[in-house]
Each structure stands twice: as structure tokens, then as C-alpha cells.
Structure 1
Amino acid sequence: MFVALVMALLTTTASADANRRIHEPSEGPARFAPGFNHGKVAVDGGTLHYVRGGSGPAIVLLHGWPETWLMWRKVMPDLARNHTVIAFDLPGLGDSSVPTTGYDKVTTARRIHEAVRKLGFTRAALIGHDLGALVTYAYARDFPAEVARIAVIETPLAGFGLEELYGISWHFRFNMSPAPIPERIMDNDDVSTYLGMMYDFSYRPEAIEREPYFRAYADPARRTAGYGYYRAFPADAENNKANAARRLPMPVLAIGGQYSFGPGVADSFRQVADDVRTAVAPDAGHYVPEENPRFMSDCARLFLGPSTGTPQRPELAGCAP
């Protein structure tokens, strides 16, 4: 009886912990860690949802598809030790409002920039994953004086290697298909199957809590917003190539998963930036912040920390400030 009671308590506690991790409000105190709060800020085209915590210089976190700000929750407490951490939901995704247009990365970067300024910061470091990395590049290129450093994770840049991936996974062409093709093919019952396939691409799929993302993309309007980011890839590529001479002046940390892009991220960004450092996340595939959060937080804190910081492990060598 005692053993059964203990096991029941442990199971209840574990379930409660899981619920605290994955059921977050859209406003007010966050549940995933103390000291973080949800908020919304008005920008051109609607409102952006964000989660903010910590103090000090700002770090802006931009997620990829098919995820939301939640992908950063495992690393945000560590980053908040010495920084103000702001994780946004990209326009149209998560709890941000859905704009009717403007899914190209230049427009998206302008919206994020407007939000950062309205939150009181005139300078920030940026970390972007997947789609968020493409937005991070546009932000850093168009507002270089307001960007200290950037880190880009797990994507080559549109116009400089992204197109070579279209044949690797059919989801690229599917998401890029004109409306209403994917909208009519994909319905709510298909979300877990389709997005589940994307998470299965990872090296450690068990590290990804899928249910919050399934719920986030259950809304057809938000699925269309996700397609909008992909449909903008050709325009993004043209813009990036036309502006490639405006090379990024700030340090760029390019992170690839050991079992995914590896050093290929850095190879792409060297075509548009002068100071690119290569880091390969061990034991990780595409979703580095979730698959290996210890590496992600240690690497980011080193890269964004004092210039006297030194790598404590060999895999952090590329993260040196």
C-alpha cells in the first residue's frame, strides 16, 4: 500500500510538472520558470506575444517552424542570469496576431525590431532558429547599429544554400504551394501526423514536447501563416542576394546540429558576414535548443558573455566571444 501510494504521488507530481511545462498562459506570470512574464506589444500589422525575464543587456529569441517561443524554455533561465531574455512568437504564430500580409523576412524583422524598441531596448543580441534565423539575418543587416551579436541555428540562408534543401524534404514545396492547396489538403486531424513527421527528423525526438505545438497549429489561420513564411522564400532569396554587399559587421555564431547541418550553417552565412564562428551541437539534430539545451545555453552564454570568457569543453570552442 505504501509503495502504491508513493508511486501514485510521484506520477501525480510528474503529471503536474509536465502540465506546468506545457500549459502556458498568453499573459501574466509564466509557469515554466519563476521570474518570467507573458506580454503583448502592438506593432505594424497586429500584436506580438512575448515572454520576458531577467535583467541586463537584451537577448531576443526567435523560434522556427513548426514551433513557438516554447522551444526556448529549457535555455531561457540560464540566459536570464546575466541578460534580459525576450522570446517572441513570430507574427501569425503562437499567441501573436495573424497579419494579412508581410511574411517576407524583411517585414517580419521590422515588426520584431519595432517590438524590441517599444519594450525599451535600442540594442540587443539575437538568437534565431530555423525561420527565426532568417529573420535574425534581416534584422541584423537592416539595423546593424542596434545589434550586438547574432547566433543562427540550423538553417542556411535563403539565396545562399536554402534552396538546395528543397529536394531533401517534401515539406518545403508543400508549404510553399500557393493557396489554397496546402490549406485544403491539411486539416486539423492531420496536424499531429504532419508536424510529428517534422519532429521525427530530430536526433532526439523524445526531447520535444509535441502537444503544445500541435495545439498551436490547430488553428487553420496559423497554419496559413506558417505557409506564408515558406511562400516568401523566393522573395527572401532575391532580397538577400541583392543586398549581400551589406555584409554583417557583428560577430555571427553559426550553430548546426551534429546529426543535421553541422558546419553547413556557417558555410552559408560566411557569404554575407565577415566574422562567422562555427559551432556544432553534439548529440543534436535540427532542434538544438530542445535536444541539447545544456550545450545551447553554455554556448550562447559564452558567446554573449565577457570577452575574457574561455571554452570549458572542446565542443564550445566555436562559441568563444
Structure 2
Amino acid sequence: MMTAADDTTSLSSLRLPDGFTDVFTSRLVELDGLRLHAVTGGDGPPLLLIGGWPQTWYAWREVMPALAREHSVVAVDPRGAGLSDKPDDGYDAGTMAADLVALMAALGHDRFDVVGHDIGMWTGYALAADHPERVGRLAVVDAIIPGLTPTPSVFGPAAVNQRLWHFGFNRLTDLNEELVRGRERLFFGYQFAQKAATPDAIPAYAVDAYVEAIVADPRGLRASFAYYRALDETIAQNEQRKKTRLTLPVLAIGGARYSGALVAETMRLAADDVTGVVLDDCGHYVAEEQPARFTEVLEDFLGGRPCSRV
């Protein structure tokens, strides 16, 4: 069952591109024991956008209007994020993928293209591997995939540690919550400042929106770490998934100042048809740091055209 969002999920409190609310609607979708939030709009082939940690659907705000000109866009808050439910478990990639298959079916989309960023890349890979009949094309954005990407050494270079230290921290059972609670703006703000191409590439109002989404729900902080606490299960799943290679077209986009070519290198371990693109002057948050170039590359890929090497 699908229901329109109530006043608490209104888009009016957020800073959005001009005309955004003329195209997009905030919705709560009731599935089997789980309520997911999505922002939907546009017309054309369905396109599912899955964001990363510690973000919400809002990460796609700058690219959604352009994408909606040719696609029925669904920007989702997966379980544990934003306005979606935050149950105690189910944060492994396989369960998250099954959630989104159910969401898209409830919205009337049995087959769709997928874009996944950060941990949304984990879910996007699981969607394509576990539900190949559902996914037409897969685009993944600036991340690695646990259980697929070779595990880096714990004594790796400092630059690698700077990118990956949060994996270990976020997997702690409770100390992380005690250390971060009450300091959410400091902790999460540091993530955005360090992973973007420049410390202020993600504007303060956006960081505030992401932090407030976590703080607003007493279960939000626990849920934000739950994806990482489920990594043992996700890794075991991916070790099985990679035994069957993906045959669908895959676009792998990296920011030159963060994951770069590693995104394509990761996907070539699992897929036969991979196009890699690295965006210059861009860090981890590609859709926010370089929305115009990201949209150009993505639209070429979704349309079956050669991707611009920008």
C-alpha cells in the first residue's frame, strides 16, 4: 500500500532547486512490516537512486530535476535512513536489496535502472546480482564493496586509512554511539569535510539536513551504524555473489580526489560490461560536487550512448 507523506515529511522545510516541488512528491510506502520513504517524480523509464552513509534521499536533489525529464525518478531513504523505518535488523545488503524490489513493485515498477552511491553501491550490486530480472542497467558511484574489493591491510598507507578508518569504528557494538551521541555535527561534519574535494564542497545547510535526520529519531544513530555492523553478513553474501558474474551494463563513476579508478576496478571483479569514468576536481560526493557532469555521464549511460570521458 502506498500513502502520500504527511506534514512531517513535507519537502517545504528543505532547501531545494527552484521548481523541485512542482515535479517531486514525498511519499511513505507501506510494505510488509516496513515503511520506506521515497521522493518520486518525472516521467519515463523508472530509475532508482540509492544514497550512502550518512545521507538521505536529499543527496540527489541537484540531479533529480534533470533526470526527471526522461525518467520516473525514485530517490529512496533505505531502511535506517531519513524518514524510513529503523528496525533492529535487516541491514545486510541482501535484505536491503529485497526491500527496494518491494518498494519499486509497490510503485508499479517491475523492472528499473539503479544508481547507488557509497553503501548504496553495496545495495545496488546486491540488487543486480540477486534480482537480475528486475535491473536493466546499474550505475555505481565512488565506493568499494566489502567481500568483493580486496581487503586493505590494517597497516596500509595513511591516505588509505584516512578513507577507510570509519569502517572499523562504525562496526563497534556500542562505544561508537556513546562517543558520537551529542557530537553528531562534529563527527558527521568531519566525514563530509574530509571526503569531499574541498572541506566546504558540501554546503553547511546540506550537512545540517543529514545530521538533523539522524538526530531527529532516537533510533537514528544506532541505525546509521547498523549497515556496518551487518558487514560480516554482507561480506559472506558478496563472496557468494561474485561466483556468478553480472552481465548487465555497469557504469562505475569515481571522484578523482577520492575513489577514482578503484570503482571500476572493483566492478570488473564482478561484471563483464563495465564502463569506468573518473571525474576531475571531485571527491566522494559526486552527485553534489559535480551534478552537471555527473548527470551528463549518467544520461549517456542510461540512454545506451558512449559515456563522456570528463
Whether 2:188 is the aligned partner of 1:200: answer: no
Partner residue in 2 for 1:146 = 134
Residue 273 of structure 1: how far off its partner (Å): 0.9
Do the aligned partners of 1:282 and 1:292 also contact (CA within 8 Å) in 2?
no
Residues 27 and 293 of structure 1, relative CA distance in 2, 3 Å threshold: same
2:101 is aligned, of 113, 120, 123, to 113
1:170 partner letter: W
**Contact persistence 1:140–1:150 (CA under 8 A):** yes
**CA distance in structure 2 between the partners assigned to 1:69 and 1:266 by the alignment:** 24
Could you tell me which of 159, 168, 173 is aligned with 2:168? Answer: 173
Q: Which amino acid aligns with 1:130?
A: D
Aligned to 1:231: 229
- State which drifts further: 285-294 or 231-240: 231-240
Distance 1:245 1:96, change over 3 A: same
Partner of 1:76: 64
Query: Contact between 1:204 and 1:291, CA under 8 Å: does it hold in 2?
Result: no
Name 1:215's counterpart in structure 2.
212
Q: Judge conservation of contact 1:28–1:39 (CA < 8 Å) in 2.
A: no
Counterpart contact for 2:252–2:277, Cα < 8 Å: yes
Alignment partner of 1:191 out of 141, 163, 184: 184
The residue matched to 1:88 in structure 2 has which SS?
strand
Report what 2:124 is aligned to.
Answer: 136
> Does the 8 Å contact 1:66/1:226 carry over to 2?
yes
1:125–1:147 CA contact under 8 A, matched in 2? yes
For residues 199 and 88 of structure 2, the distance between their equivalents in structure 1, rounded to whole angstroms, comes to 33
CA distance in 1, matches of 2:28, 2:150: 32
1:243 positional shift: 2.4
Residue 206 of structure 1 deviates from its aligned partner by: 2.4
Indicate which of 25, 39, 43 corresponds to 2:31.
43
Cα separation, 2, equivalents of 1:253 and 1:30: 34
In the alignment, what sits opposite 1:26? Answer: 9
Are 1:102 and 2:110 counterparts? no
Could you tell me which residue of structure 1 aligns to residue 52 of structure 2?
A: 64
Counterparts in 2 of 1:44 and 1:185: CA distance versus 1, 3 Å: farther
Q: Does the aligned pair in 2 maintain the 1:156–1:162 contact within 8 Å?
A: no
* Residue correspondence of structure 1 range 159-308 to structure 2 within 5 A: 159-161=147-149, 163-164=151-152, 167-168=161-162, 169-178=164-173, 180-187=174-181, 189-201=182-194, 202-208=196-202, 209-218=206-215, 219-305=217-303, 307=304
In 2, Cα distance between equivalents of 1:293 and 1:25: 28
Q: Give 5+ residue unaligned stretches, structure 1.
A: 1-23, 316-321
- Report the Cα distance in structure 2 between the residues aligned to 1:144 and 1:50, rounded to whole angstroms: 22
User: What is the CA–CA distance in structure 2 between the aligned matches of 1:259 and 1:110, rounded to whole Å?
Assistant: 33
TM-score with structure 1 length normalisation?
0.85
Q: CA deviation at 1:107?
A: 0.3
> What is the percent sequence identity of the aligned residues?
36
Q: Secondary structure at the match of 1:217?
A: helix
How many Å apart are 1:164 and its aligned residue? 2.3
Change (3 A) 1:155 1:165: farther
Instruction: Give the secondary structure class of the aligned counterpart of 1:132.
Output: helix
Show structure 2 runs of 5+ residues with no match: 1-6, 155-160
Distance (whole Å) between structure 1 residues aligned to residue 309 and residue 151 of structure 2: 32
Residue identity opposite 1:282 in structure 2: D
Tell me how far apart the structure 2 counterparts of residues 108 and 310 of structure 1 sit (CA, whole Å): 31
Of the structure 1 ranges 89-98 and 27-36, higher mean CA displacement relative to structure 2 is found in: 27-36
How far apart are the structure 2 equivalents of 1:184 and 1:240?
31
- CA-CA distance at 1:28 after TM superposition: 7.3
Are 2:46 and 2:112, in contact at CA under 8 Å, matched by a contact in 1? yes
Report the CA distance between 1:222 and its aligned residue.
1.2
**Larger Cα Rg: Structure 1 or Structure 2?**
1
**Letter of the structure 2 residue corresponding to residue 104 of structure 1:** D
